A and B are shown apart, each in its own frame.
Chain A
Amino acid sequence: MASSTPDGDRAFDRSVSASPWRSALGTLARDRSAVAGLVILAALALIALAAPYVAPYDPRAQPDIVALKYLSPTLAHPFGTDHLSRDVLSRIIFGSRVSLSVAFLSVVVAATVGTGYGAVAGYVGGKLDSLMMRIVDALLSIPRVLLLIAVATLWNGFELTGLVLLLGLTGWFGVSRLVRTLVLGAREDEFVTAARALGATHARIFIHHILPQVISPVLVAATLAIGNVIVIEAGLTFLGMGVRPPNASWGSIFYDGMRDVAGAWWISISAGAALVTTVLAVNLVADGLREALNARQLPAR
């Protein structure tokens, strides 16, 4: 992109889609592993949405606790049954609704709060910025899982909404740092000064000239965070602090399997496989997005 092309001799290149967003989409579409990840995620999302139609059994039905418990995988029960004679495949399918939606929604919460917080700190700058970032430093110094366990213990018995908020409100610290750095950089861009010189208000400068530069890296970071949060939610649920029975999530199925992991290994393995597949797909998409959006400044992972 040399700025020294002689005036007027450059042909219109209409063949190339010009908008930066559209060209990013094009790059993403050519990235095979990202497309594979997207396909897997789409399939998982579809299955979750259509759970009542796809699942072979009622995930809560306990047809015969004695005779039908711990059945190993067969055609009738591809992933076997658990200690209460429930079909594991059906539970994983219904569990994906909880696991995926909790992960997605809590990352939306985290990304929104983190972007808002970091943007204010970066744009206003000065003492407010220092104060806000020291607060983030303090919060980041507490291990997230410990923080979650502490809050979950104090806040006895919450609904899924509570879990989403909890995961969201403990997940924005990193995003806020990322956004602050990006905004600090964007604020120094010459076109931001140019916009100020043309009389644009702070709101306009922020929305038109700063936010677009923040969106791509936040999108990549949020995608990565989804994989992370799925694992954390499973962990919390495994510890009995996340999703509560009778709701099934992959974490609780994993926990159920641990009662007799040597005898009925298929329960935990199935839940674990679902977890790993999702996280892998999410990471493939995140990597593809990073390439496509050319977002270099990302949190270490």
Chain B
Amino acid sequence: MTQPALLTVSDLRTYFYTGAGVARAVDGVSFTIGAGETLGIVGESGCGKSVTALSILRLVQQPGRIEPGSRIMFENQDLLQLDDAGIRRVRGNRIAMIFQEPMTALNPVFTVGDQIAEVARVHASASRRAAWDRAVEMLTMVGIPAPAERASQYPHQLSGGMRQRVLIAMALIMNPALVIADEPTTALDVTIQAQILELLADLQQRLGTSIAMITHDLGVIAEVASRVVVMYGGEVVEEARVETLFTEPHHPYTEGLLHAMPRVGRRRERLAVIPGSVPPPTAWPTGCRFRDRCSYAWDRCAREHPPLYQIGVGHVSRCHLADEPERRAAARATTRSSPAATVAAPGGGA
């Protein structure tokens, strides 16, 4: 974290007031993103990572609400204090978002050129002609062949990878300081995934944009991120530099995620899964929210909600093991196998 912070999220809490109770989808999340940095935000479905992303741009819809006390500082202003016009000036202009499903994130009744140009017309009040030219330029930049022809086509005429490039073009047209990419490659083929990640990394180098890469895929994190925030149960459970996270994960959940990754050359071994699934956000367990699925859990985990313990430089973990490290060694000695229980049944995993 040598760069000055571009975005500082502190104590972000986004609650959904549903009939079934208050869902604390994001519950006290804090992190920073430096200028030009790529931060990975990782966790399984339901951990609050997408709601965090939507909260930054205040896109959470009813019955969701960002609770008072949360702060999102960006370019010296608190995004949560801005009025409607103020936040609109940030959206798409200073902070842009790339969505998961490139088919549904594009309007089927407008040409892709129109949709890219729309952003320039909203923010730069560019003329129709100038906005269109800029859109074609952006299509060139994101590596779409024959951009002038493609611009006047409709989304259904493009392949998934091309549509994702179009979304990237839309996100980058105003040259934003931060791009939030919410699972940008999940809906794509593996080969296209690699191309898109490469494109993002390349554009980031050229434009100096910061990226918040939200994903459940540690492979993606390893490829693009320099720092990683691991989320579980609406909280940050571990934060570390990417090398540290992969070599010395501290939180049992992070360990579980790493063990659940398939690896070449380790055949004949069943893939480890984390048993169970994320508890419903209306009823987080008391104490540690991961304790029901954790093989190390002891009575303290039920009693005491763990704080973020400092593990090393820029490395924190929300696990009492930091206080009582001898327990990890003891548990390893008894189970002998990987810390996340090795289960044959499908389901669960990251």
Hey, which bits of chain A sit against chain B, CB under 8 A?
1-10, 12-13, 18-21, 125-126, 189-191, 193-201, 204, 208-209, 212-213
Is B157 a contact partner of A190 (Cβ separation < 8 A)?
Answer: no
Known pairs A20-B154, A190-B104, A204-B122; A198 contacts B159 (CB<8 A): no
Would you call A1 and B59 a contact (CB within 8 A)?
Answer: no
Cα distance A1–B156 when bound, in Å? 7
Measured between alpha carbons, how far is A5 from B195 in the docked complex, in Å?
14
Q: Please, which residues of chain B bring their CB within 8 A of the CB of A4?
A: 159-160, 188-189, 192
Given A3-B188, A199-B93, check contact A18 B122 (CB 8 Å).
no
Docked Cα-Cα span, A10 to B153, in Å, equals 13
Q: Would you give the shortest CB distance from A147 to chain B, in whole angstroms?
A: 34
- Tally of contacts, chain A with chain B, CB under 8 A: 117
Closest residue of chain B to A190, judged by CB? B104
Assess the A197–B59 pair: CB atoms within 8 A.
yes
A20-B109 contact, Cβ under 8 Å, with A6-B159, A198-B91, A200-B122: yes
B145 in contact (CB, < 8 A):
yes
The 7 closest A-B CB pairs, nearest first, are A3-B160, A198-B92, A7-B161, A5-B159, A199-B91, A199-B92, A190-B104
Write the chain A residue with the least CB distance to B160.
Answer: A3
| B59, A193: Cβ atoms closer than 8 Å | yes
Instruction: Select B187's contact among A3, A18, A20, beta carbons within 8 Å.
Output: A3
Chain B 31-64 against A: per-residue CB contact (8 Å), 1 yes, 0 no? 0000000000000000000000010010100100
Q: Are A199 and B89 in contact (CB under 8 A)?
A: yes
Given contacts A7-B195, A20-B108, A189-B104, contact A196 B59 (CB under 8 A): yes
User: Which of B90, B105, B162, B188 has the most CB atoms of chain A within a 10 A radius of its CB?
Assistant: B105
> Is A126 in contact with B62, judged by CB distance below 8 angstroms?
yes
Q: Are A194 and B99 also in contact (CB < 8 A) when A199-B92, A209-B107 are? A: yes
The interface residues of chain B lying within 8 Å CB-to-CB of A2 are 160
Residues from chain B with Cβ under 8 Å of A9 in the complex? 159
Contact B149 A12 (CB under 8 A): yes
Contact status of A208 and B159, CB under 8 A, knowing A18-B153, A20-B108, A191-B105: no
B247 CB within 8 Å of chain A: no
Q: A8-B161, A193-B105, A200-B118 are in contact. List 5 more A-B contacts (CB 8 A).
A: A12-B149, A190-B100, A190-B101, A194-B106, A196-B91
Q: B234 — which chain A residues lie within 8 A by C-beta? A: none
Contacts of A13 in B (CB 8 A): 157
* Chain A residues, CB < 8 A from B102: 3
Interface size on B, residues (CB 8 A): 49
Q: Are A198 and B104 in contact (CB under 8 A)?
A: no
B119 x A198 contact (CB < 8 A): yes
Given A4-B188, A7-B195, A191-B104, residue A197 in contact with residue B109 (CB < 8 A): no
Whether B300 sits at the interface, judged by CB under 8 Å, is: no
Give complex CA distance A12, B162 in Å: 13
Task: Fill in one digit per residue for B105-130: 1 if any A CB lies within 8 Å of its CB, else 0.
Answer: 11111100000001100110000000
Check A197/B192 contact, CB under 8 A, given A10-B159, A18-B153: no
Smallest distance from the beta carbon of B109 to chain A beta carbons, Å? 5
CB pairs A–B below 8 angstroms (17 shown): A2-B160, A3-B101, A3-B103, A6-B189, A6-B191, A10-B158, A12-B146, A19-B109, A19-B154, A20-B109, A189-B104, A190-B104, A197-B97, A199-B88, A199-B89, A199-B91, A200-B88
Query: What's the dominant secondary structure at chain A's contact region?
Result: loop
Tell me if B259 is interfacial: C-beta within 8 Å of chain A: no
A1: which of B103, B107, B109, B119 is its contact (CB, 8 Å)?
A: B103
Q: What 0/1 pattern do residues 75 to 102 of B give for CB contact below 8 A with A? A: 0000000000000111111001101111
- Closest CB-CB distance, B64 to chain A, in whole Å? 13
Q: Bound state CA distance, A197 and B102, in angstroms?
A: 15
Check if B291 is an interface residue, CB within 8 A of chain A: no
Contact A191 B107 (CB under 8 A): yes
Whether the Cβ atoms of B159 and A199 lie closer than 8 Å is no
Q: Is B163 an interface residue (CB 8 A)?
A: yes
Beta-carbon contact of A190 and B162 below 8 Å:
no
Q: What is the distance, in angstroms, from B143's C-beta to the closest C-beta of chain A?
A: 9
Pairwise interchain contact A197-B96, C-beta atoms closer than 8 A: yes
Query: What is the bound-complex CA distance between A4 and B188, given in angstroms?
Result: 6
Give complex CA distance A195, B107 in Å. Answer: 9
Chain B residues with Cβ under 8 A from A6's Cβ?
A: 159, 161, 189, 191-192
Q: A199 and B122: CB pair below 8 A?
A: yes
Residue B211 is within 8 A (CB to CB) of chain A in the complex = no
Residues of B within 8 A of A8 (CB): 145, 159, 161-162
Is B105's CB under 8 angstroms from A190's CB? yes
Q: Does B212 sit within 8 A of A, measured CB to CB?
A: no
Q: How far is the CA of A198 from the CA of B172 in the complex (A)?
A: 10
